[in-house]
Amino acid sequence: MSGRRADIVLCPAGPMLLRGQHTITDDDGVEHTTTRPVSAVCRCGKSASKPWCDGTHKVLPKKLRP
Ligand code: FES
C-alpha cells in the first residue's frame, strides 16, 4: 500500500465521497464542480439538493438505500 488516500469512496448505503476537485454531470447534463475538500454525491436519488447528498438516505428504508 502506498498510504495514499482514494479520491473516490463509496459509502455503504450512502453517498459517494469525492476528495479534491472534480466536475460531475447531473441527469440534466448540467456540470457541477466540487468546492469543498470532500464532497458527498447522492447515490440514493432522494436528496433535495442533488447532485449533493443532504442526508436523506439515512431515513430511507434499507431496500431504497444505495
Ligand atoms: S445518498 Fe445521501 S441523500 Fe442520497
53 ligand 1 Cβ < 6 A: yes
Split at pLDDT 50, 70, 90, the class of 11 is very high
Which of 16, 53, 64 for mutating ligand 1's site (highest number of atoms within 8 Å of CB)? 53
Domain containing 40: what range?
8-55
What confidence tens digit (pLDDT) does each residue in 26-58 have? 989 999 999 999 999 999 999 999 999 999 999
Adjacent-strand bridge partners of 30: none
What is the number of structural domains in the chain? Answer: 1
Atom of ligand 1 lying closest to residue 15 CA:
1
Split at pLDDT 50, 70, 90, the class of 2 is low
Q: Is 42 exposed, middle or buried (0-12, 13-18, 19+ CB in 10 A)?
A: buried
Residue 35 CA: distances (Å) to CA of 2, 19, 21, 66: 26, 10, 7, 24
Answer yes or no: is 42 within a domain: yes
Q: What is the mean pLDDT of the chain?
A: 94
Does the structure show a pLDDT above 80 at 1? Answer: no
Residue 4: what pLDDT?
A: 83
Answer yes or no: is 2 within a domain: no
